Structure formats: structure tokens, C-alpha cells
Chains A and B, each alone.
Chain A
């Protein structure tokens, strides 16, 4: 949906009126659609400004006038095919000449032309917008209801499952660490029970691990060397 901009032509490009509308507009049957038209004029907006909309139905060669704004008064179609369906929502002071078509029908497919004249600035090209009226398939009753209920319940169940899984993993990790720590301490206790007199304070876990590896080596040494190995170990 792009804007049809008017390329400036001639020696003085600003002395013309520029009209902008979207290229295409889509609407669904029965709903309403806004045909927006904005313009740029090099002159001040005067009281004599006139805005007109024409409609050329799809497949037809005739372009009929459906809206006219002049001398501060909007004139809406009240006898043609847009009778009681059109609404003027524009504001010439704000350079807006938009109209709204309500209760769309398939016969509204076609091209709408917006034309603005702001005396003395009257030279310019009008702009066209093509309206496509599409059919909307109504969803069956209960689709929205069921999907909301199912979605929310699924989400809540998922969250609860995730939270419980995380807690379970965390607790298991704690249990494993606890077991490892108690096993290390048990090994240390057995070792220090063997040398009765000298008993050092409980070192932190890291040192306990180091001690364990060293004590394994020391135990092997002790078997071969005897008492002096213990004295060396106690210094640590």
C-alpha cells in the first residue's frame, strides 16, 4: 500500500497542488473502510477550496461523482449507490480530504479518485485508490473459547512441570554433593583415628580433597616405610 506521489513537472515544481492517496485499500464485506486523501498546496487554504471524489466501478467505464466539498460545505451522495453509507471525516484546514464507506458490498469494488482544487492553485493531478472488497469467513462458535481455555491450561501445566523439574534436579544435586562430602569426611576420620595423638582441625572441602589424595599416597608409603611417613604428613 504505497502512496502515489506526484512527480513535480515544469520549471516551477512547487506551484501545483499535490494529492496523495494510498494505492490500494482492502476491506471486508459488511465492515467499513477509510479512503484517505491528503494534499499539499503552495497557497494558503482558502474558503474556495473544493474536494471531489469520483467512483469508477470495476469493469465500468463511467466515473461518477460521489462527493463534493465546496465553500465549507460537504455534499454527500444521497441518491446513488453510496446513499447513507458515506461519511465525511476530512478537514481541509488540516489538508485532509478523507471519506469513510460503511457496510461494504461487492459492488464497491473499483477505483476512487480524489481531486482537490485550491484557488488560485488549481493545476495538479488527482490521485486514485483501488478498493478491494474481500470475503471474511466467520469462525465457528467455540473456536475462540476452546483455544483460550486449552492454551491457558497448557501454559500453566507446562510452567508447573518446569518448576518441579528444576527443583527436583537441584535437590538431587544437593544430595549427591552431600554424599560426596560425608564420604570424604568418613575417610578422613578413619585415617586420623589410626594416628591417635595428633589430630588436626577439619580443613575446608578443597583441602580435604587434596588431603585425601595425599593421604592415599602416604598410606602407600606408610606400608613400605613405617612411622617417619606419618610425621611428614602431620606437618601438612
Chain B
């Protein structure tokens, strides 16, 4: 890899995005040699790490949106979509949640965050193959950051306004879906920022 063009220009993250094709007269391409060189291994690891982070954020958002366990009160769980009471044994009685406007806005924010994250993943794979060398994954990063902001605003609105459609009682505590939503927010933000900083290398 000695004859290849120099690696670093200031401002890059130090490692490239894709394995470099071998330059004329130096090194060997990854596949034909059978031995993966050190830098390409690092690049692949970085790529894998980024994708794993993104998929984690996506899973967190999906679970938090779909599972209706934002509030827990003894045997009862409530929000976002239905309020369930566990009767004797494993019998659940479920009713649809309130039609309050604030609850609807929380639902809208969670759905939007899932949409943005999925779009971001799709755009990432698009930009991976179409971006010019040295280009940045702006669109991917922006959509992921938007997803993070949507989750945060949804969780915040829920925290402030959930007493509007639930009578406040002493035993109510926040369920695990609510905690997952707050967990997804910093991860999504970090993932988006990583995309914005990253540069594509051939």
C-alpha cells in the first residue's frame, strides 16, 4: 500500500470509509490476496459499528413506539395506544387510550422518529454507493438527528402533559417503553453527528 495516495487530510476522522482499491504498483486488493490488511479491517469495523449503532437506535424506537407501556400502575399499563388491566391470571382487558390532542401529538412524534430513522438508514446505503470521494453523509446525518429530536419532543410532551388524561395517583410510575424513548434520544443524536462528521473515502 506504499504507492497509494496519502491518507490523511486535516479534518478527517483519520480512517476512511471504504477499503481502498490498490494503486498502481503497490499492495494487493483485499479479495485476491486472501489477507485483509490492517487499515481495511479497521475501516470495515468502523462501518460495522456505525451500522450496528443505527440499527440499535431503530430497534429502540420501534419498541418504544409499539409497546403500550409508558405508564405502569400496579397491574395496569397505559399509553401510547391502549390501556390494559391484567385481570386474574394472564387475562388482559384493553381499552383504547384517550383521544386527547397532546397524546395524539406524542404518538405523531414517535411515528415521525421511526420514519426518519428508517429513511436515514435507507439514505445511508444510497449515499454509500453514490457519494463522491471526500463527500459527507449530510442527508443521512440530518435525518437521524431529526429522528432524535422527534423522540425527545415526544417524550418531553408526554412527561409534561400526561396528567391531562390520567388522574395522578401515587402508584403510577413510568414504564420501560418510556425509558427506552429517552435512551434512544442521545443515541440517535450521536449517530447523526457521526454521520455528519464522517467523510467517504474511496
Q: Interface residues of B toward A: which range?
A: 10 to 19
B101 adjacent to chain A (CB < 8 Å): yes
Residues in A whose Cβ lies below 8 Å from that of B112:
148-149, 152-153
- A149 in contact with B99 (CB, 8 Å): no
Q: In the assembled complex, which residues on chain A have CB atoms less than 8 Å from the CB atom of B111?
A: 145, 149
Q: How far is the CA of A152 from the CA of B139 in the complex (A)?
A: 16
For residues 101 through 121 of chain A, which have their beta carbon under 8 Å from a beta carbon of chain B? none
For chain A, which range describes its interface: under 10, 10 to 19, 20 to 34, or 35 or more residues? 10 to 19
Structural contact, B105 and A148, CB atoms closer than 8 A: yes
Which residues of the partner chain A approach B150 to less than 8 Å between Cβ atoms?
152
Q: For residue A145, which residues in chain B have a CB less than 8 angstroms away from its CB?
A: 104-105, 107-108, 111
Residue of B nearest to A150 (CB): B108
A142 on the B face (CB < 8 A): yes
| A144 interface neighbour in B108, B139, B146, Cβ under 8 Å | B108
B121 within 8 A of A: no
Question: Which residues of the partner chain A approach B108 to less than 8 Å between Cβ atoms?
Answer: 144-145, 148-149, 152
Contacts of B131 in A (CB 8 A): none
Contacts of A138 in B (CB 8 A): 99
* Chain A hits for B104, CB < 8 A: 141-142, 144-145, 148
**B196 at the A/B interface (Cβ < 8 Å)?**
no
Counting CB contacts under 8 A, is B115 at the interface? yes
Complex interface: chain B residues within 8 A of A153 (CB): 112, 115
The reply on A160 being an interface residue by CB < 8 A is yes
Interface residues of A (CB under 8 A from B): 138-139, 141-142, 144-145, 148-149, 152-153, 156, 160
